[in-house]
Amino acid sequence: MSEQHHNRLDHSELTNSGFWVGHILMIIATIAGVYLAAQTGLRQAIVFEEVTSTENNFYLRQSLYQEVRDNVEILREYDANILRRRLTVNQVRDNSPRISHYIWETMKYSQATLETPSYLLGSVRRFYARVDDIVAKCEAFVIGPTYGSKLLNAELDKIEQELLPKLKANVDELAVTLAGYGVEVEVEPYVTEADQVAKTESTDTPAAAKKESAGN
């Protein structure tokens, strides 16, 4: 009698043990599932933040590259059409180069600016400061147009040979990073002054040949 009671007691204990073991395993599985889901969500959030930041930096730096390049072209024309023509003081002042600082000024309010390499920011800052100073001194005739032209061209050569290639390479690097995430962006090709001159000459050559042929 007591033996039968003992067996029933053991069976009840085994049933209860299985119940608790099952619940414990279920709790562990739930915790593991929540943890893995949280880790996956965190990784996705980090990737999304990185892609967004990289894309913002890409467009900001490409815009800066375009602005500096365009300003170099404007200053080249200013040098050729104003400084080298030995104009009067009033004529020089009336034809001040209209270079743009829009992107550079806008960068003051962009969070992505502080993510831009310091050597790029420093080079652009010095470029604007120096060319503005040269133009101001030429217009005030503190320095003569010939000497001003020499100083200006030295700055423009330096920018074309050093800053613009580095800035463009940095933009291209960001584009490659974005491509790795499956994000495609439009990258503007790097065009030097020599390329522009060659393009102009190739465009003018057929017209000149046609004119010469008509004259003969």
**Is residue 104 a contact partner of residue 63, using CB atoms and an 8 Å limit?**
no
**Is residue 120 a contact partner of residue 170, using CB atoms and an 8 Å limit?**
yes
Between CA 162 and CA 123 the distance in angstroms is: 9
Q: What is the pLDDT along the chain (216 residues), one digit of tens a residue?
A: 445 555 554 555 555 666 666 667 777 767 766 666 666 666 676 766 888 888 899 999 999 999 999 999 999 999 999 998 878 888 888 889 999 999 999 999 988 898 999 999 999 999 999 999 999 999 998 998 899 999 999 999 999 999 999 999 999 999 999 998 888 888 877 665 555 555 545 545 554 445 555 554
Who contacts 101 (Cβ-Cβ below 8 Å, separation ≥6)?
67, 128
- Would you kindly state where each structural domain of the chain is located, as residue ranges? 54-198
Who contacts 54 (Cβ-Cβ below 8 Å, separation ≥6)?
174, 177, 178, 181
